[in-house]
Amino acid sequence: MTTTLRPLHPEEAVPGGGRSRCWQICVNGRRVGGLRTTALPRGTQSWGEISELEVTEGRRRGRATIGALAAEEVLRGWGCSRVDVNVPATAGPALGLAVALGYTERMRNMAKHLTRAPELPAGLTARPIGAQEYPGWLAAAQQAYLRDLRTSGLSEQQARAKSEADHRQQLLQGPGTRGVVLRGLYGPQGAPLGSLWVNLHQDTLPSGALLAWVMTVEVEAAQRGHGYGRALMLLAERECLAAGVRELGLNVFSGNTVAVNLYESLGYRVTNRILGKSLI
């Protein structure tokens, strides 16, 4: 039997210069499943994504494996230097397949339903990051993100391209970008302790509820180990509830065990795992 990919729909353009296409997984010309390939620009490179992978007939016969490998070849042909897959936390077989194909976990998505606004620890205050503070904050945020990307397995070139592209796309109007919360956290004497970036309009859930997203939580190097990361997360929850948003998600790099433990202690649970590998 011959397993192949066949186009299901014409290729679609993705905002920012990317491309995407749905495919049928076929055995001897008969459709047994499907998947989607997407190429996204990252600076001078393109990154691939494989999503919506499903085998509807003849599972456990290697069809998902062949479909995924064929999708990787499509992405190589589109000039992608690496590929990511996003696996739901409940999809054990999909996670096993990704690991067997050489993917390694880079990040986890975690989320929490918010019910009440927590109080900030006594003596701490928060202020908006305005136009004067913004350039310094942005430079530090990009460098911190770049370091995390390098730690997660990306090359220097890949990490720098992704860091610059992600910040540019998410902060089109700088500190005045609609739906963006930028806050600095300060101690009793006004000493800067850390900063927070939340996107209040990251996504809409199937229920219709808005999902906000913690983009960055950064504690000043000299202030770490004193609970200020927890305080910044409490501030994120307060900002979301003040805006009428009750669902809050975040990304955490899998190797950052301190952050993973913090989020778990605050009630966040894993929803998806992001795994990737190089295509070159």
Tokens of 190: 């006004």
**Residue bearing tokens 């307060």:** 238
Comparing CA positions, the residue from 222, 237, 233 lying closest to residue 261 is 233
The conformational region for residue 248 under phi > 0 = left, psi -120 to 50 = alpha, else beta, is beta
Tokens of 113: 């339903």
* Regions of the chain where pLDDT drops below 70: 1
pLDDT of residue 98: 96
In whole angstroms, give the CA distance from residue 273 to residue 218: 22
In whole angstroms, give the CA distance from residue 59 to residue 41: 33
pLDDT of residue 202: 80
The reply to whether CATH 3.40.50.920 applies to domain 112-273 is no
Q: Which amino acid is at 30?
A: R
DSSP string, the chain: --EEEEESS--EEETTTEEEEEEEEEETTEEEEEEEEEEEEETTEEEEEEEEEEE-SSTTSSHHHHHHHHHHHHHHHTTEEEEEEEEETT-HHHHHHHHHTT-EEEEEEEEEE--SPPPPPTT-EEEE--TTTHHHHHHHHHHHHHHHHHHTT--HHHHHHHHHHHHHHH-TTGGG-TTEEEEEEE-TTS-EEEEEEEEEEEEE-TTS-EEEEEEEEEE-GGGTTSSHHHHHHHHHHHHHHHTT--EEEEEEETT-HHHHHHHHHTT-EEEEEEEEEE--
* Superfamily, domain 3-102: Gcn5-related N-acetyltransferase (GNAT) (3.40.630.30)
pLDDT of residue 1: 64
130-147 tens-digit pLDDT: 999 999 999 988 888 888
Judge if 3-102 and 112-273 fold alike in CATH terms. Answer: yes
β pairing state of 3-7 and 18-27: antiparallel
66-87 tens-digit pLDDT: 999 999 999 999 999 999 999 9
In whole angstroms, give the CA distance from residue 92 to residue 60: 14
- Bridge partners of 18, per DSSP, are 14
Share of the chain above pLDDT 70, in %: 99
Q: CA 15, 83, 254 angle in degrees (round to 5)?
A: 105
In whole angstroms, give the CA distance from residue 150 to residue 146: 6
- Bridge partners of 7, per DSSP, are 23
Q: Which amino acid is at 47?
A: W
pLDDT of residue 166: 83
Residue ranges of the domains in the chain? 3-102, 112-273
